[in-house]
């Protein structure tokens, strides 16, 4: 579950930033962001834990740069926020690697991801308000929100199923 959340958050972060840069015509920058995202995914798969801090720093710089240049703010927010999510999940996975998986650790995983998801939702809510204020609440942004809500719901259903 943690690994899935980690990979998904890296993908969403890189894709959001790349889409934001792509939508203003910075295609090369978007490609570079995707390459960095791919490297981050590879690092996560190889357990190169230090890469996640560098990737978070780059993602935040890219998001802040995009916000400064008035790129679509929702994508920038989403990029920064999911980078934070991925950074946190990567460190949690590092701690989990030190122990064997049992029912205790699975409960802990569920609790951790639930809490960090709440934080991400709060951030997305903030980003959505910004998009509304700036009149940039586009169909793509709506699609991202729907995707994340569906993922969250699927996760909740899965947990309740396991609990029962």
Partner 1 sequence: MSRSLFLSALLYGLLLAGIITLRGEIVALAIPFAVYLLYGFWNIPEALNLNIERSLSTDRADSNADVIVTLTVTNHGGDIEELLLIDHLPHHLKLCSGAPSRLIRLKKNQSYTFDYTVAGGRGAYIFETIHAAGTDMLGLITREQVIKSKNTLLVFPEVKHLKNIPIRPRKTRGFAGVIPGRVGGTGTEFFGVREYQFGDSPRMVNWHASARHEDLYSNEYQQERAADVGIVLDARVSTNHFHADHSMFNYAVTAAASLADVFLSQGNRVGLLAYGSYLDWTFPGYGKIQRERIMHALARAETGNSTVFAGLKHLSPRMFPPESQIVLVSSLTQDDLDILIELRGRGYQVMVVSPDPIRFECGLLSPSPQVDTAARIIRLERNLLIRRLERAGIRVIEWDVSIPLDHAINPALTQTRRAL
- Chain residues binding partner 1 by CB under 8 A are 53, 56-57, 60, 63-64, 67-68, 73, 76-77, 80-81, 84, 88, 91-92, 95-96, 98-100, 102, 104-105, 107-108, 111-112, 115-116, 119-120, 122-123, 126, 130
In angstroms, the Cα distances linking 157 to 99, 144, 153, 161, 163 are 27, 20, 6, 6, 10
| Six-digit token string for 109 | 């995983």
- State the nearest-atom distance from the C-beta of 142 to partner 1, in Å: 20
Query: C-beta of 91: minimal distance to partner 1 in Å?
Result: 5
Shortest distance in whole angstroms from residue 148 CB to partner 1: 14
Q: Give the single-character DSSP code of 164.
A: -
Closer residue to partner 1, CB minimum distance, 31 or 104: 104
| DSSP per-residue letters across 138-152 | -HHHHHHHHHHHHHH
**Whether 75 contacts 66, CB under 8 Å:** yes
- Is 122 or 143 the residue whose CB approaches partner 1 more closely? 122
**SS3 assignment, position 95:** helix
Closest distance of CB 32 from partner 1, Å: 20
């Amino acid at each position: 579950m943690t690994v899935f959340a980690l990979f998904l958050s890296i993908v969403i972060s890189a894709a959001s930033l790349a889409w934001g840069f792509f939508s203003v015509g910075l295609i090369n920058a978007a490609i570079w962001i995707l390459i960095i995202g791919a490297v981050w995914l590879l690092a996560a798969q190889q357990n190169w834990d230090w890469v996640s801090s560098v990737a978070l720093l780059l993602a935040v710089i890219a998001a802040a740069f995009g916000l400064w240049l008035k790129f679509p703010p929702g994508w920038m927010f989403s990029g920064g926020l999911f980078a934070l999510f991925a950074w946190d999940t990567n460190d949690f996975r590092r701690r989990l690697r030190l122990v064997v998986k049992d029912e205790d650790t699975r409960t802990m995983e569920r609790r951790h991801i639930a809490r960090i998801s709440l934080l991400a939702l709060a951030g997305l809510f903030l980003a959505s308000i910004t998009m509304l204020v700036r009149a940039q609440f586009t169909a793509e942004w709506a699609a991202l929100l729907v995707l994340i809500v569906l993922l969250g719901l699927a996760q909740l259903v899965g947990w309740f199923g396991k609990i029962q």
